Amino acid sequence: MHRYINCIEHNSSEGQLVIGEKQTALFDCGMAFCADETINNVQNALAGRKLDYIFMTHTHYDHIGALPFFKNVWPNVQVVTCEAGAAVLLKDTPRKVIRELSLNAARINGVTRDLSYNDETFKADVIVKDGDKIPLGDITVEVLETPGHTRDSLCYFIPEMQLLLLNETPGVLMPDGMMYPCYLTSFNDTIKSIEKCRSIPYKYLSLPHRGIADEKDTDKYFEKALCANVNCRDFILDMKNKNHSEEKMLDLFRIEYYNETLISFQPIEAFLANARATIACTLKEL
């Protein structure tokens, strides 16, 4: 896997580089506050080659907040996402949220550098759909639509490397071994997406915010993901059956999931926004 390089600079950020014979691709570009360091990691890995593609797994700030800074360095890089993702990038409200959460993350991490940019930088260049293939020379990136975390969530499979790059729809495997459920738009879509990913003939998994998984983490990964998401659904339904208010449910959800490990990855503001979405979509699908 020497051509698959982890360029993540901070544990809450992203950035996985694949070097093809003819073209190169970065899967997510990470957080704005550590953009310079991530870019430096990518430049070192490229060793003089240009960056051709940035494949988005979804349009959240911790995955694409650094996009304007990457485009300053590689103005011709092609940003790849699905139709839903392309639509999100053009909307004022998501752009505002990306900016606000990026600035908050910088503050939390003690970063004072200038993070100003033009919102118009957030746009897609290549629109893909499920089953599309983009060649990088001797390897090919295959697109899998896997909604659940967001409606625009994409996973990618590189068959020549037997490598499946996951987004956060199945969940996020934390360093302490806990699988944190991350469905924000649909529990039902999440289960379907997990089954879809499980059917791919992969040998290696690249995990969000982690990179290549150890063999012990790959083993029964999707079974663990299914269990975590079902347990989350059932936890929310149990709170509903006990007639808890929305605020009480949110507080109990925080107590259940926002542990010391997750705190180092996700600010409380982002956690609460996601928790509200998870609770709301679960109740909607009753």
Residue 32 has pLDDT above 90, yes or no: yes
Q: What are phi and psi of 61, to 5 degrees?
A: -60, -30
DSSP secondary structure string, 237-264?
A: HHHHHTT--HHHHHHHHHHHH--HHHHT
Share of the chain above pLDDT 90, in %: 91
Residue 166 confidence (pLDDT): 98
pLDDT at residue 267 is higher than 90: no
What pLDDT is stored for residue 175 in this prediction? Answer: 87
- pLDDT per position as a tens digit, 49-103: 999 999 999 999 999 999 999 999 999 999 999 999 999 999 999 999 999 999 9
- State the pTM of this model: 0.95
Tokens coding 146? 């896997």
- H helix intervals, 201-243: 215-218, 221-241
pLDDT tens per residue, range 229-259: 999 999 999 999 999 999 999 999 999 999 9
Helix axes 268-284, 221-241, angle to 10 degrees: 80
Token couple for 56: 């988005």
Mean pLDDT, the chain, rounded, equals 96
Instruction: Specify the pairing of strand 78-82 against strand 53-55.
Output: parallel
- Lookup: tokens for 47: 């060793």
- The DSSP line for 146-169 is --SSSTT-EEEEEGGGTEEE--SS
What is the side-by-side strand order in the sheet with 133-135? 133-135, 140-145, 154-158, 163-165, 204-207, 211-212
Report the relative pairing of strands 211-212 and 4-6 from DSSP bridges: unpaired
Closest by CA to 174, choosing from 48, 9, 11, is 11
- For 123, the token pair is 């746009």
pLDDT at 128: 98
Give the separation between CA 44 and CA 117, rounded to whole angstroms.
Answer: 24
- Classify 57 as helix, strand or coil: coil
Whether pLDDT at 1 is above 70: no
Q: Which residue has the higher pLDDT, 155 or 217?
A: 155
Report pLDDT digits (tens) over 156-209.
Answer: 999 999 999 999 999 999 988 899 999 999 999 999 999 999 999 999 999 999
Q: How confident is the model at residue 264 (pLDDT cuts 50, 70, 90)?
A: confident
